[in-house]
Amino acid sequence: MLKEFKEFALRGSVIDLAVGVVIGAAFGKIVASLVNDVIMPPLGLFFSDVKIENLYLNLSGKHYANLADAKAAGAATVNYGVFLNAVIEFLIISFAIFILVKQINRLRRPQESTTKACSFCCSSIPAKALRCPQCTSTLKE
């Protein structure tokens, strides 16, 4: 069982996945900082000096000055400002991944086929062959 786990863990795709997860986590932190520290403050100014991440709906019926006070008191709240931050982070990350995948696909060159079909016997032969090794027919270039 240990041998099977070692083979699994040392496979190239597992290591690539691990690297992707680590880079994705770091990228997520960068995007979270971008949203919380760069995008949301100007939006808060636009909406009358309100911190968007502090927007909430109080379900307890008592009044609290801000979300931190409501959380400290253990009040039931719907934190739609935090949700809005998460949605914006998701949109930025998904757009960045879309651009990355699009560029990788653009840079990939289509692979040329190394085989072709013989027009006489339909067998698979090397693409550069001038004569079929199965039926010995002379092929067009």
Q: Residue 33 phi/psi, 5° resolution?
A: -65, -40
pTM of structure: 0.57
Residues 32 and 97 placed together within one structural domain of the fold: yes
Together in a domain, 93 and 118: no
pLDDT value of residue 50: 74
Q: Output the domain CATH number for residue 26.
A: 1.10.1200.120
Q: Are 63 and 119 in a shared domain? A: no
For residues 139 and 131, give the distance between their C-alpha atoms in angstroms, rounded to a whole number: 5
pLDDT tens readout for residues 49-83: 777 888 889 898 888 888 888 889 999 999 998 89
Mean pLDDT of 104-128: 83
Which residues, other chains included, contact 28 with Cβ-Cβ below 8 Å and sequence gap of 6+?
89, 93
**Has residue 48 got a pLDDT over 80?**
no
Burial level of 27, CB count in 10 A (0-12/13-18/19+)?
Answer: middle
Using DSSP bridges, classify how beta strands 115-117 and 77-78 pair: parallel, antiparallel or unpaired. Answer: unpaired
* pLDDT tens-digit series, residues 106-117: 887 777 778 888
Which residues form the domain of 97? 2-108
Q: What is the pLDDT of residues 23-36, one digit of tens each?
A: 888 988 998 888 88
How many structural domains are present in the chain? 2
User: What's the Cα-to-Cα distance from 61 to each of 57, 58, 75, 76, 126, rounded to whole Å?
Assistant: 10, 7, 9, 9, 78
pLDDT-derived band of residue 39, with 50, 70 and 90 as boundaries? confident
